[in-house]
Each structure stands twice: as structure tokens, then as C-alpha cells.
């Protein structure tokens, strides 16, 4: 083998090593980018989480409030009273109030409880579960699906 062929072989081997090293670095960057994107989606979801709950107002009676940090979309309230009933809710922006005294007042104390289900902007479904405890105290629980 001549000196020229030896130099070409060494250069080819060097190029192959550099290409493999570059590929390893790019794979590492791609994995980091995927991790960052996943974290960003989780942070966005956390910062846009709706929380819809019934509230008794002295002036208006019962009303539904979105006390979360994101809009509540495609909502419905489900309860059992003479069979299962589903009451659709309007989309509620952050801080929005929906007066539903005439619907909710007869349900206070309903032993089957009430489920309020709604979606966030990302399409994740959330639930507010309303039950009554001892002495008629209302209990509210929040769930992520």
C-alpha cells in the first residue's frame, strides 16, 4: 500500500468517526427536544386548566362558575332523578358565571351526587363531583381524566 493510499484510508476512517460522532450528538439533541416539547405541553395544560363548580350566591341563587385558569368547553351536568338526566352547559371562559338556580336547587342533597364534566382547550376531560355529607354539607372533588 502506498503512502497516498494510506493517507486516503486514514482520512476515510476519520470522516467515518466524525460522521458517527455527529449522528450521536444529533440523536441526543432530538431526545432533548422531545423532552422539552412534552414538558411545554404539560405546562400549557397546567396553566389552562378549567375548574367548574357550583356556587350559592345570595342574590342569584345557585350558579356555575369557572374558577380555573382556562376555558371549560363541551360541558354537561349529569345526575340521577327519575332516571339519569344530562343537562348541557354552555362553554365557560375563565371567570364566567352561568346562573342555573332553577336546575340545581332541586338537586341539593341528591344522594346520587352530581357529575359536571367538561374539556380544556387541549381536549383533556375534567370532572367536578358534587356530593353531600352529614348535615347537608356540599362536598366538591376535582378529577382529571
Q: Would you identify the CATH topology of the domain 49-144?
A: Immunoglobulin-like (2.60.40)
Output the pLDDT for position 113: 93
Unique residue bearing C-alpha cell 416539547 = 37
Q: Where are the domains of the chain?
A: 1-47, 49-144
Read off the pLDDT band of 76 (50, 70, 90).
very high
C-alpha cell of residue 16: 467515518
Read off the pLDDT band of 125 (50, 70, 90).
very high
Say how far apart CA 137 and CA 134 lie, in whole Å. Answer: 6
Torsion of CA 56, 62, 64, 69, to 10 degrees: -20
- The more confidently predicted of residues 45 and 139 is 139
Does the pTM of the predicted model rise above 0.75? no
C-alpha cell of residue 88: 348541557
Q: What is the CA radius of gyration of the chain?
A: 29
Find how far residue 114's CA is from the centre of its chain.
21
Output the pLDDT for position 86: 95
Output the pLDDT for position 41: 65
Output the pLDDT for position 110: 87
Q: Is residue 106 a contact partner of residue 97, using CB atoms and an 8 Å limit?
A: no
Output the pLDDT for position 44: 67
Q: Is residue 86 a contact partner of residue 103, using CB atoms and an 8 Å limit?
A: no
pLDDT digits 0-9 by tens, 1-59:
788 888 888 888 889 999 989 998 889 888 888 877 777 666 666 678 999 999 999 99
Output the pLDDT for position 132: 92
pLDDT digits 0-9 by tens, 77-111:
999 988 899 999 999 999 999 999 888 888 888 88
Amino acid at each position: 500500500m502506498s503512502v497516498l493510499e494510506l493517507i486516503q484510508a486514514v482520512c476515510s476512517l476519520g470522516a467515518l468517526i466524525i460522521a458517527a460522532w455527529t449522528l450521536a450528538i444529533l440523536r441526543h439533541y432530538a431526545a432533548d427536544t422531545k423532552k422539552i416539547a412534552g414538558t411545554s405541553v404539560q405546562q400549557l395544560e397546567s396553566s389552562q386548566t378549567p375548574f367548574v363548580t357550583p356556587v350559592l350566591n345570595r342574590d342569584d341563587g345557585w350558579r356555575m362558575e369557572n374558577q380555573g385558569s382556562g376555558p371549560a368547553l363541551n360541558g354537561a351536568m349529569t345526575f340521577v332523578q327519575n332516571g339519569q338526566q344530562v343537562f348541557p352547559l354552555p362553554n365557560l371562559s375563565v371567570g364566567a358565571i352561568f346562573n342555573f338556580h332553577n336546575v340545581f336547587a332541586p338537586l341539593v342533597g341528591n344522594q346520587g351526587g352530581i357529575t359536571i364534566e367538561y374539556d380544556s382547550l387541549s381536549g383533556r376531560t375534567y370532572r367536578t363531583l358534587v356530593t353531600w355529607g352529614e348535615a347537608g354539607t356540599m362536598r366538591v372533588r376535582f378529577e382529571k381524566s
